[in-house]
C-alpha cells in the first residue's frame, strides 16, 4: 500500500481479523485511484438501545489532492457487512473523483436549434430548417407537451435529430 492507513475504534475492541479485513479493503482502493494521500477508517459502536443489539458505524476519510472523500454508512448489526458497504461506497466516490480528474464527466449534448419553416396542421406534420439550411421533417407527436397547435411558422425550436424511414426527422421539439 502506497498511502498511510490509520484504523481507529470507538466503543469496540478490534480483533486482528477485523483489522486485516479493513487493510485488505483499503489496499483495493489503490486500484481505483493512485492519487490517495492517506486513508483513515473509524469503527464505531454507538451506545446500545434497549430494544436493539450492537450496531456498527464505519467512517472512511480518504484524502486526495484538492478534496477529502468522506463515507459514513448507516449503522448495521453485522460488522463485516458495515465494512463491506462502507468500502463499496468509497470505491464509487473514488471512481467519480477519478473521472472528474481525467475530465471524463458525462456532458449532456445541447439540442440543436432551428426555426419552423412549414406547418401542415391538418396533416399533423411540418418542417424545420436548421441554421445550415437543411430541411427536416417532424410529426406532431414529436412536439413535446402537446404544443404542436401552438407552433407558428418562423418560431425558434430546439430538437433532436434522428434517422427516419425517409431521411432525417426531428424529435423532442420544444419552442424556445
* Predicted TM-score (pTM) of this structure: 0.58
CATH code of the domain in which 148 resides: 2.40.50.140
pLDDT tens per residue across span 20-60: 999 999 999 999 888 899 999 999 987 665 455 678 899 99
Can you tell me whether residue 23 is helix, strand or coil?
A: helix
13, three cell numbers: 475492541
Residues 19 and 87 in one domain: yes
Average pLDDT of 91-107?
81
Give the number of domains in the chain: 2
| Residues in contact with 49: Cβ distance below 8 Å, sequence separation at least 6, in sequence order | none
Do residues 83 and 47 lie in contact, with contact meaning Cβ atoms separated by under 8 Å? no
78: containing domain? 5-102
Per the listing, cell 456532458 goes with 107
pLDDT of residue 50: 47
pLDDT of residue 167: 85
pLDDT of residue 131: 87
| Residues in contact with 159: Cβ distance below 8 Å, sequence separation at least 6, in sequence order | 111, 112, 113, 114, 128, 136, 138, 142, 170, 171, 172, 173, 174
pLDDT tens per residue across span 111-139: 789 999 999 999 999 999 998 889 999 99
CATH code of the domain in which 53 resides: 3.30.160.100
Which residue, 102, 127, 150, sits at the end of a domain?
102
Amino acid at each position: 500500500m502506497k498511502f498511510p492507513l490509520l484504523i481507529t475504534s470507538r466503543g469496540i475492541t478490534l480483533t486482528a481479523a477485523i483489522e486485516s479485513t479493513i487493510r485488505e479493503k483499503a489496499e483495493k482502493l489503490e486500484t481505483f485511484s493512485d492519487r490517495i494521500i492517506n486513508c483513515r477508517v473509524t469503527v464505531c459502536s454507538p451506545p446500545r438501545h434497549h430494544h436493539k443489539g450492537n450496531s456498527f458505524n464505519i467512517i472512511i476519510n480518504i484524502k486526495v489532492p484538492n478534496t477529502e472523500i468522506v463515507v459514513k454508512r448507516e449503522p448495521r448489526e453485522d460488522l463485516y457487512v458495515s465494512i463491506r458497504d462502507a468500502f463499496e461506497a468509497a470505491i464509487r466516490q473514488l471512481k467519480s473523483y477519478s473521472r472528474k480528474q481525467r475530465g471524463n464527466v458525462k456532458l449532456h449534448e445541447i439540442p440543436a436549434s432551428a426555426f419552423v419553416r412549414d406547418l401542415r396542421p391538418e396533416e399533423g406534420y411540418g418542417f424545420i430548417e436548421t441554421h445550415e439550411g437543411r430541411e427536416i421533417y417532424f410529426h406532431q407527436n414529436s412536439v413535446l407537451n402537446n404544443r404542436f397547435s401552438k407552433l407558428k411558422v418562423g418560431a425558434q425550436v430546439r430538437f433532436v435529430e434522428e434517422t427516419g424511414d425517409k431521411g432525417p426527422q426531428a424529435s423532442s421539439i420544444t419552442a424556445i
